[in-house]
Chains A and B, each alone.
Chain A
Amino acid sequence: SYDLTQPPSVSVSPGQTASITCSGDKLGDKYASWYQQKPGQSPMLVIYQDSKRPSGIPERFSGSNSGNTATLTISGTQAMDEADYYCQAWDSSTVVFGGGTKLTVL
């Protein structure tokens, strides 16, 4: 089965840039999506097709995908961005999620 690996936690200071990685075998040959989940809420799509933002998602959210790693980047991180983030990809007709990364803004 295909695995996506994320760091359990990432910390960032307000106003700085946060980078959350998602690693998988030849992930760059697939497309990655990213979801934000705040406590007590359902996940919300923030990036799809590696780097596209759905309507309503702030420009500070961006994504890239190359080689074995997809990266979600949050520029000018705000306190409201503190949440769990999950990557997701498609492999052999199966949906795969990463284990999630807790982003702490401190």
Chain B
Amino acid sequence: QVQLQESGPGLVKPSETLSLTCTVSGGSISSYYWSWIRQPPGKGLEWIGYISYSGSTNYNPSLKSRVTLSVDTSKNQFSLKLSSVTAADTAMYYCARFTVTNSLVTWFDPWGQGPLVTVSS
């Protein structure tokens, strides 16, 4: 059974870069897409982007200029970098496996537990 675990700093200063890593266990990172979703406190879900095991990416247009996703298949990990953060980037950051079929059926499953990342000086 595939499990995902996020890791990274829980506090980031304004204007700096938020960096998180998601480790996949119980299965290979190959042959799937992997995604990041965030949720500000008390608010809804916002898709950040996804990356394939081969490194192809797709980002939310609203965040595209600040987001970089990468994958390390040797470590079964994928990572998120979000630059120039502000208080508005304070949120729970979840990693999840993303499925998209040829018929454009899409879903996220499973999800990690998500760390709360706070942007504050």
Contacts and interface: CB of A to CB of B under 8 A. Distances in A.
Chains A and B bind each other:
yes
Interface of A: 1, 30-31, 33, 35, 42-45, 48-49, 54, 86, 88-90, 93-100
B100 A90 contact: yes
Given A42-B113, A94-B60, A97-B47, A88 B94 contact: no
Contact of B103 (A1, A31, A43, A44): A31
Majority-rule SS of A interface residues: strand
A54 B37 CA distance: 20
Majority-rule SS of B interface residues: strand
A11 B58 CA distance: 37
Contacts of B46: 97
Given A42-B111, A43-B94, A44-B111, A100 B44 contact: yes
Contacts, number: 65
Contacts of A99: 44
B105 interface: yes
Contacts of A88: 45, 106-108
B-side interface size class: 20 to 34
A72 to B, nearest CB: 14
Contacts of A98: 44
Interface in B74-109: 92, 94, 98, 100, 103-109
A42 B114 contact: yes
A96 B47 CA distance: 7
B26 interface: no
Contacts of B14: none
A31 B106 contact: yes
B112 interface: yes
23 contacts: A31-B105, A33-B106, A42-B112, A42-B113, A43-B111, A45-B108, A45-B109, A48-B105, A86-B44, A88-B107, A88-B108, A89-B106, A90-B100, A90-B104, A90-B105, A90-B106, A94-B47, A95-B98, A95-B106, A97-B45, A97-B47, A98-B44, A100-B45
